[in-house]
Amino acid sequence: MASGRRPFFCGNWKLNGSIAESLALATDVRNGVATLRDVDVAVGPSFTALYAVAKRLEDGPVTVAAQDCFWEEKGAFTGEVSPAQLVDAGCKHVILGHSERRQLFGELDAAVNLKARAAIRAGLTPIICVGETLAERDAGETIGRVQAQLDGALADMDDTALERVVIAYEPVWAIGTGRNATPAQAGEAHAHIRSRLRQWFGGPAADQCHVIYGGSVKPDNIRDLSALPDVDGALVGGASLDVRSFFDIVTRSRPAAV
């Protein structure tokens, strides 16, 4: 974790939890991290629980992330939710381009870009997910794939827009599989993302941008991952559904933790 960027951890609760269960978990997370002063924490419930959870957490320090949004503000788009509606519900972030959305729902880089730019316009921080499949890694295409997704997602953005963006490097083969990237694999991808951001947006904008890791993050692997200079926190799926695991991940990521 490089100095100057506060570590950021976001739980992605995916399709889990009633409103009551989400409220209980959110409350436990808030109580767990309330005394931590050197880290930012968000939780990502399902759409149905966003408002209730945001209300419960409105006094801080934990913020709320939605798991997707549409790019239009309003209109005949049955089933979609706009960035402004997410802000209205109390969200501060929105996860975009998650590999489950790309793989199961056919989401393309162009859509991620439209969603990210709409989210920024509405005042949200998009957490933009990029990452290669196992076949792409085995074919030696990891860096090319990640760069293509990054370039597609950030098209037509300037350095002011980048200030509002978090990038999540999530190798697809590591998500929900129990198989996390090694520090060397994560380090290479994160360093490449940072250098691409520098090339595109310049040093100051690139250096303030959070690039977090996701993919089977657990209390026993976060320390090595978060020690990498370009890893600024984590997007945590399965382990974020258990408050103890999530809390341990957050606390063990900190250099001062024992």
The answer to whether 23 contacts ligand PEP (rule: CB under 6 A) is no
Radius of gyration of the chain (CA): 17
Cβ-closest position to ligand PEP: 237
Alpha-helical regions (H) of the chain? 19-33, 47-56, 83-89, 99-105, 109-122, 134-138, 142-154, 159-162, 183-201, 203-208, 222-226, 243-252
Could you tell me the CA-to-CA distances from 46 to 64, 86, 92, 197, 216 in Å, in that order?
A: 11, 12, 14, 31, 20
Nearest to 234, CA basis, from 256, 255, 210:
210
Number of residues that bind ligand PEP (CB under 6 A): 13
CB atoms within 10 A of CB 208: 14
Question: Strand pairing of 93-96 and 125-130?
Answer: parallel
Report the alpha-carbon distance of residue 121 to residue 129 in Å, rounded.
19
Q: Closer CB to ligand PEP, residue 90 or residue 215?
A: 215
Amino acid, single-letter form, for residue 234:
A
Q: Name the segment binding ligand PEP (CB under 6 A); options: 22-30, 56-64, 113-121, 208-216.
A: 208-216
The answer to whether 12 contacts ligand PEP (rule: CB under 6 A) is yes
Q: Closer CB to ligand PEP, residue 205 or residue 221?
A: 221
Q: How far is the CB of 221 from ligand PEP (least distance, A)?
A: 11
Q: Closer CB to ligand PEP, residue 91 or residue 205?
A: 91
The answer to whether 253 contacts ligand PEP (rule: CB under 6 A) is no
**Annotated catalytic residue within 93, 170, 190, 192:** 170
Report the alpha-carbon distance of residue 139 to residue 29 in Å, rounded.
40
- 3-class secondary structure per residue, 207-232: HHCEEEEECCCCCCCHHHHHCCCCCC
| Residues between 215 and 244 with contacts to ligand PEP, criterion CB under 6 A | 215-217, 235-239
Q: Closer CB to ligand PEP, residue 26 or residue 235?
A: 235
The answer to whether 214 contacts ligand PEP (rule: CB under 6 A) is yes
Question: Strand pairing of 210-214 and 166-169?
Answer: parallel
Q: Name the segment binding ligand PEP (CB under 6 A); options: 109-117, 120-128, 143-151, 169-177.
A: 169-177
Is 170 labeled as catalytic in the residue annotation? yes
Q: How far is the CB of 85 from ligand PEP (least distance, A)?
A: 23
Is 210 labeled as catalytic in the residue annotation? no
Q: Name the segment binding ligand PEP (CB under 6 A); options: 55-63, 86-94, 130-138, 214-222.
A: 214-222
By annotation, the residues acting in catalysis are 98, 170
> Which residues are near ligand PEP by CB under 6 A?
12, 170, 175-176, 214-217, 235-239
